[in-house]
Amino acid sequence: MNDKKIATIAVRAGINSDEHHGAVIPAIHLSSTYALKGFNEKRQFDYSRTGNPTRATFAQAIADLEQGAIGIVTSTGMSSVHLICQLLSTEDTVVIPHDCYGGSYRLFTHLAKRGQFKLIVVDQNDESALTEALSQKPKLVLLESPSNPLLRLVDIEKITKDCHQVGALVAVDNTFLSPALQQPLLLGADIVFHSTTKYINGHSDVVGGVLVTKDKALGEELAWWANCIGITGSPFDSYLALRGLKTLPIRMKQHQENADVVAKYLKEHSAIEAVYYPGFPDHPGYEIAKRQQHDFGAMMSFEVKGGVEAVKKLFANLELFTLAQSLGGVESLISHPSTMTHAGMEISAQIEAGITQSLVRISVGIEDSDDIVKDLAAGLAASQL
């Protein structure tokens, strides 16, 4: 267990580990294979799908940040989710939130349709529905807090206790906050995972994933599967993500400072019906956020008055915000969840989850907040013409 503070762990990951040359920053190891010392005498690494020094350094850094036993770096965030599915067999039940990331929803619903496991999709804020789901004795419960795109929160500690009582493992998608702002394993969860494509790498130039387990044996089982099915991350992506990680805590500070300004601005704007941001005291998850998060994050979504036509005008009149999928990079991004990130969900499931045509999601970047607000002001004014 690494007892250093988060910023120290992030910066120091892999530093001074080169015993040959004394390189301060760990080298990138691109080699796909490693020479044996002799007959049946393996070194620490033998083949890069199974293990790679650069990937191992990155995995250890995230495991340390999440205070877990084993970290596994995968090729994408979705392959981390898929890796967790390897724990399931046809008789097992899985519970997922009705408002999770569209890609996770698509994966679980399609695998369930093929009979790989039984699936219950539930509003995890509906206590009686969740209790009913847990009475089915699921093997795995997936949590996503805050959720994508509506920023709903669930009480990770409480739900985890309830899940453990029925013998379920709890896996938490921590992509929206990163370990700098939330550490689900410390709240009792068994597995935490990320799309490192987002805040952890932070520069929108890597697609990757990582998963950390609290328990060593569970981590070893999943690492075995990651090698078996061949979804481990590449050395180059691991190198870039490790580089991005070093500034994670400081980036998150600026992301949030800007998000606070932007959220308050949007809340007062006459073109906006509602803003979903857990940093508002009247947000239903505010008290939970204060308890289980280190801060409120920099993701938010809002409903524009005038429906999808107003949304189109808003998008067409922005200069600084880029209309693009993804989140968590230094640059501000804007998206329309229904037709973009959550297009993998049928419209009926979107409606059930509360995703409307007038819903817009933003990932607040670290540009100057004056410029971010000015851009939104221009777009929102045009949206109502």
Minimal distance, residue 41 CB to ligand PLP, in Å? 37
Catalytic residue status for 190: no
| Beta strand spans in 182-332 (E) | 191-195, 209-213, 272-276, 299-304, 322-323
Instruction: Report the alpha-carbon angle 74-191-288, nearest 5.
Output: 120
What is the Cα–Cα distance from 348 to 52, expressed in whole angstroms? 44
Q: Which stretch binds ligand PLP (CB under 6 A): 173-181, 227-235, 297-305, 312-320?
A: 173-181
Q: Which of residues 1-60 bind ligand PLP (CB under 6 A)?
A: none
Q: Which of residues 318-377 bind ligand PLP (CB under 6 A)?
A: 341
Instruction: Indicate the burial class of 241 (C-beta count within 10 angstroms; 0-12, 13-18, 19 or more).
Output: buried
Smallest Cα–Cα separation from 367: which of 326, 319, 325?
319
Catalytic residue status for 374: no
Q: Which of 155, 173, 303, 375 binds ligand PLP (CB under 6 A)?
A: 173
Site string for ligand PLP, 185-224 (x = CB under 6 A): ----------x-x---------x-x---------------
Q: Is 103 in the site for ligand PLP (CB under 6 A)?
A: yes
Q: Which of residues 77-96 bind ligand PLP (CB under 6 A)?
A: 77-78
Catalytic residue status for 265: no
Q: Which stretch binds ligand PLP (CB under 6 A): 14-22, 99-107, 114-122, 224-232?
A: 99-107
What is the Cα–Cα distance from 297 to 299, expressed in whole angstroms? 6
Residue placing its CB nearer to ligand PLP in the complex, 204 or 369: 204
Q: Which stretch binds ligand PLP (CB under 6 A): 23-31, 74-82, 219-227, 234-242?
A: 74-82
Among the options 139, 198, 243, 361, which is catalytic?
Answer: 198
Instruction: Report the alpha-carbon angle 125-129-132, nearest 5.
Output: 135
> What backbone phi and psi angles, to 5 degrees, belong to 301?
-140, 160
Q: Which helix (H) or strand (E) holds 375?
A: helix 369-383
Helix/strand number for the chain, H first, E second: 13, 12
What is the Cα–Cα distance from 223 to 220, expressed in whole angstroms? 5
Q: Which of 57, 76, 125, 201 binds ligand PLP (CB under 6 A)?
A: 76
Residue ranges in contact with ligand PLP by CB under 6 A: 76-78, 101, 103-104, 148, 173, 175-176, 195, 197, 207, 209, 341
**Active-site residue list:** 49, 101, 173, 198
